[in-house]
A and B are shown apart, each in its own frame.
Chain A
Amino acid sequence: MKYESAFEIIGPVMVGPSSSHTAGAVRIGNIARQLSEFEPAVVRFELMGSFAETYLGHGTDLALLAGVMGYTTFSDEVADAKKIAEERQLRYSFDTVPVGNFHPNSVRVILISEDNKELTLVASSLGGGKAEVQEIEKLPLKFTGEQPTLVFYHDDSIGFIADITLALTKRGYNIARFANERWNKGGKAISICVVDSVVSQSLLEEFNEEVPAITRSCFIQTV
């Protein structure tokens, strides 16, 4: 089911003009920011479909940029995103690129740090302000970030899923959704775990210690 809550239909409360091109875009940028462990120095946005055609008129560019700087759909700063980016010396670009076989409102976000660390994400704005991640680092992993979501970067190894679910269960976390993808057998992998309640930073660190296969974990939730 794509839409679950009454407030996905009656909401979000947002600054216009477009829920899919403005609010959804802020959320996409925001998810990318939450997913990256570094402060981006350069951001590249590759836009396709309707995003590519109309991003200027809808302020999609401002919205995406505001999102990667940590702002949300409520933020007044969205309209000033370019000015703020300049102040922060964040370099950015918008390009029209056929990203792939995704929803017409899709974008590839590439965040790069000063020391060349990179994060690549493809996400779509499904309408009504709803954003959905399609790919992380080219792995097909879908989530919206509306519910508390854990993202684990880890080694593909026997027992990882058992270990992580045990670690969550022990602490009373109910798992709503779990997805796991790997580049190759025994190689690097990413798992997405949607839970029913918020997970603190200190708890993330506990997971990292308790489950040795984890190389990095982060917590994502959009507003």
Chain B
Amino acid sequence: MAFSSLNELLTRATTEQKKVYEIMLETEENQTGETRTQLMTKMAFQFDVMEEAVRKGTYTEVESKSGLTGGDGYRVQQYAERGHSFVAPETLTVIANALAVSEVNASMGRIVATPTAGSAGILPAVLVHCLDSGRFARNELVEALFTASALGLVIANSSSISGAEGGCQAEIGSATAMAAGTLVELAGGSPEQVGNAVGLAMKNSLGLVCDPVAGLVEIPCIIRNGLHALTAEAAADMALAGVKSIIPPDEVIKVMHEVGQNMPVSLRETGIGGLAGTPTGERIKKEIFGYSQRMEGISE
């Protein structure tokens, strides 16, 4: 059985003196009957796909299929390399990484849903950032994907990872929380600190509406991936510094679902309200799809 509460998962990690990734690997072994080596190989493939997407979108200008967005991953990477940014240039590249993956997604390119396609930029961004820093080995980052999985399972099972159900907080918020907790474990933080990072990151994502312009996974999804990759790293650093999530992380996760349920349907991935409902949002929708939503279909 998978995890439904962070407290249960992190208490186990503390009492058994194991990393979260080890507990997740053991659980997966028991459930699937596959060996640890098989599971690690499978996860290493997911990591390769993630890295490929990061490289593709930071080295080249990737255009979305609709032509609406693209090239921002490359643009931010180039700007960071010029070295005159407010955020430390090497930190800024995590934003470029996340924009890159999201742009590859919008181009109908190959990505890994982490936990969803709309939020697929964040986790690859921070992990590839870790790889490029030289501080962590590739193998450790593949292990870290099991940490992220365990945290994601808790969120998915006790709250939601569906934008249509919970708004963008369920996608971007979940990805940010997963990434923050994962980074803390990678850096050698305690299970309690992992929980705090999840709580801090999720708190900062509460209320995030899912309002894709023209219903496409582009505006504002791509930008949110970029900025929240940085939020994930900041939340990890705060937790490692000793900042606590006073509201227990499990309660923060649960309330995310409640906030989602209280959101109007127009702000839950329907492409009606929020940015999608602005005059420009409406105009873009008309330009792409024409006046009628039901323009296509019957070829009988």
| Cβ-defined contact, B214 with A20, below 8 A | no
Interfacial chain B residues near A17, Cβ < 8 Å: 64-65, 105-106, 108, 117-118, 216-218
Residues of B within 8 A of A11 (CB): 46, 112-113
Contact A50 B114 (CB under 8 A): no
Chain A residues with Cβ below 8 Å from B39 are 6
Do B113 and A14 touch (CB < 8 A)?
yes
**B1: Cβ under 8 A from any A Cβ:** yes
B289 to A56, Cβ gap below 8 A? yes
A16 & B43 in contact (Cβ 8 Å cutoff) = no
Contact of A103 among B113, B164, B300 (CB under 8 A): B164
- A residues near B110, Cβ cutoff 8 Å: 13-16
Instruction: Name the contact of A10 in the complex, choosing from B107, B152, B295, B298 (C-beta under 8 A).
Output: B152
B58 interface residue per 8 A CB criterion: no
With A and B bound together, what is the CA distance between A197 and B212 in angstroms?
Answer: 40
Whether A50 pairs with B300 at a CB distance below 8 angstroms is no
- A53–B216 alpha-carbon span in the complex (Å): 11
Of A124-132, A149-157, A215-223, which binds chain B? A124-132
Q: Is the CB of B45 within 8 A of A13?
A: yes
**A104 at the B interface (CB under 8 A):** yes
CB of B54 to closest CB in A, whole Å: 14
A187 located at the interface, meaning its Cβ lies under 8 Å from any Cβ of chain B in the complex = no
Chain B residues within an 8 Å CB radius of A129: 113, 116-117
Q: Is A23 an interface residue (CB 8 A)?
A: yes
A105 and B215 alpha carbons, distance in the complex (Å): 13
B28 within 8 A of A: yes
Cβ contacts under 8 Å, A7 to chain B: 42-43, 46, 149
Contact with B along A80-123 (1 / 0, CB 8 A): 00000110000111111000000111000000000000000000
Residue contact B115 to A127, C-beta cutoff 8 Å: yes
> Is A70 part of the contact surface with B, judged by Cβ < 8 Å?
no
Query: A127 touching B106 by the CB < 8 A rule?
Result: no
Q: Which residues of B contact A58 (CB under 8 A)?
A: 215-217
**B109 and A15 contact, CB distance less than 8 A:** yes
A3 and B157 in contact (CB under 8 A), knowing A10-B145, A17-B216, A53-B271?
Answer: yes
Residues of B within 8 A of A42 (CB): 300
CB contacts (< 8 Å) of B104 on chain A: these are 16
Closest A residue by C-beta to B66: A57
| Cβ of A35 to closest chain B Cβ, rounded Å | 23
Q: Which of B2, B43, B163, B178 contacts A20 (CB 8 A)?
A: B163
Measured between alpha carbons, how far is A14 from B46 in the docked complex, in Å? 10
- For the complex formed, measure the closest distance between the CB of A78 and the CB atoms of chain B, giving whole angstroms: 8
Render B164-175 as a binary contact track against A, CB cut-off 8 A, 1 for contact.
110000110000
Within A162-217, the residues touching B (CB, 8 Å) are 196
Please indicate the chain A residues that have their CB under 8 angstroms from the CB of B161 in the complex: 9, 127-128
Q: How far is the CB of B283 from chain A (nearest CB, A)?
A: 15
Q: How far is the CA of A95 from the CA of B294 in the complex (A)?
A: 8
- With A13-B110, A15-B109: A6-B116 Cβ-Cβ less than 8 Å: no
**Cβ contact within 8 Å between A54 and B269:** yes
B66 touches A16 (CB 8 A): no
What separation, in Å, do the CA atoms of A57 and B269 have in the docked complex?
12
Across the interface, do B297 and A93 meet the contact criterion of CB distance under 8 Å?
Answer: yes
Assembled-state Cα–Cα distance A11/B152 (Å): 11
A-B contact pairs, 20 of them (CB 8 A): A3-B156, A5-B31, A9-B153, A10-B145, A11-B46, A17-B106, A17-B108, A20-B163, A23-B113, A49-B164, A50-B164, A56-B289, A56-B293, A57-B288, A93-B298, A103-B164, A104-B265, A104-B268, A127-B115, A128-B156
* Residues of B participating in the A interface, judged by any CB pair closer than 8 Å: 1-2, 4, 24, 28, 31-33, 39, 42-43, 45-46, 49, 64-66, 104-118, 120, 123, 145-146, 148-150, 152-153, 156-157, 160-165, 170-171, 178, 212, 214-218, 265, 268-272, 288-289, 293-300
Which 10 residue pairs are nearest across A and B when measured between Cβ atoms?
Answer: A127-B162, A54-B215, A6-B149, A9-B152, A16-B105, A50-B164, A57-B215, A19-B113, A19-B117, A17-B217
Interface, chain A (partner B; CB < 8 A): 1-20, 22-23, 42, 49-50, 52-54, 56-59, 61, 79, 85-86, 91-96, 103-105, 126-129, 196
